[in-house]
């Protein structure tokens, strides 16, 4: 039985989440550098003093927003050893992003702003891209060992290309959501590199869905 947060702790958690949602909206609209703590406080419906009680400065607030998003995305991503599910999980993240355009806009702004080593998000994105390249490279390599990859590119190059395609498509999607749908294009890319991608994904998910029944 899972305990439910009550009292002051629950209230504090709710306030912090309201602040993070407000920060995401303001960061997405104006970028990190142009955003002020006053604007975030106003969007969250509180005083700037109340905001600082929860987050001492704008850099801390940005770090919390990024950490929250990474935590939410991680819930959709499988362990590294599940090669096909690694890609299926990323497609789930892309689909989830389509429901939160402000988040995509924020990441697009921050990846540009964060290129500067002085930016507070710089280290986050260096680590994020390195980790994702390693994650997907290992997934491609595992599939290659099983004879499932059909490409002259090595696994590191395939991983970099996959991430580049995700980023580029999502940026285009921000500008014209009616013309661009990233998910089917990403599926077509994966099917071109992994000819049995659709079949393997369906088989893996069917097996996972049946597992609880087998354990009874």
- Is-above-0.75 flag for pTM? yes
Provide mean pLDDT across the span 150-176.
95
At the topology level, CATH places domain 8-64 in: Arc Repressor Mutant, subunit A (1.10.10)
Average pLDDT over residues 144-159: 96
Quick one: 86 exposed, middle or buried, by C-beta within 10 A (0-12, 13-18, 19+)? buried
pLDDT of residue 107: 84
Same fold, 8-64 and 76-206: no
pLDDT in tens, 59-107: 899 888 888 888 877 777 776 656 898 999 899 889 988 888 877 888 8
Q: Where are the domains of the chain?
A: 8-64, 76-206
CATH topology of domain 76-206: Tetracycline Repressor; domain 2 (1.10.357)
What is the model's pLDDT at position 6?
52
pLDDT of the residue at 77:
76
* pLDDT tens digit sequence for 3-45: 444 555 457 889 999 999 998 888 878 878 888 999 999 999 9
Taking the C-alpha atoms of residue 195 and residue 36, their distance in angstroms, rounded to an integer, is 49
């Amino acid at each position: 039985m899972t305990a439910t947060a009550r009292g002051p702790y629950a209230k504090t958690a709710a306030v912090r989440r309201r602040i993070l949602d407000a920060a995401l909206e303001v960061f997405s609209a104006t970028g990190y550098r142009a955003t002020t703590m006053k604007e975030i406080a106003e969007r969250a419906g509180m005083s700037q003093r109340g905001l600082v009680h929860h987050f001492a400065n704008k850099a801390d607030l940005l770090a919390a927003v990024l950490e929250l998003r990474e935590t939410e995305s991680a819930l959709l991503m499988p362990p590294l050893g599940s090669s096909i599910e690694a890609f299926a999980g990323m497609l789930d993240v892309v689909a989830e992003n389509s429901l939160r355009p402000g988040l995509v806009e924020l990441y697009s702004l921050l990846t540009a702003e964060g290129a500067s080593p002085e930016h507070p998000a710089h280290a986050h994105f260096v680590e994020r891209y390195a980790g994702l390249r390693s994650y997907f490279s290992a997934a491609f390599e595992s599939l290659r060992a099983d004879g499932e990859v059909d490409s002259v590119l090595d696994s590191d190059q395939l991983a970099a290309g996959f991430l580049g395609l995700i980023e580029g498509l999502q940026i285009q999607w921000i500008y014209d959501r009616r013309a661009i749908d990233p998910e089917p294009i990403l599926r077509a890319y994966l099917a071109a590199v992994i000819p049995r991608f659709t079949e393997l994904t369906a088989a893996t998910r069917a097996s996972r869905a049946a597992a609880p029944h087998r354990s009874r």
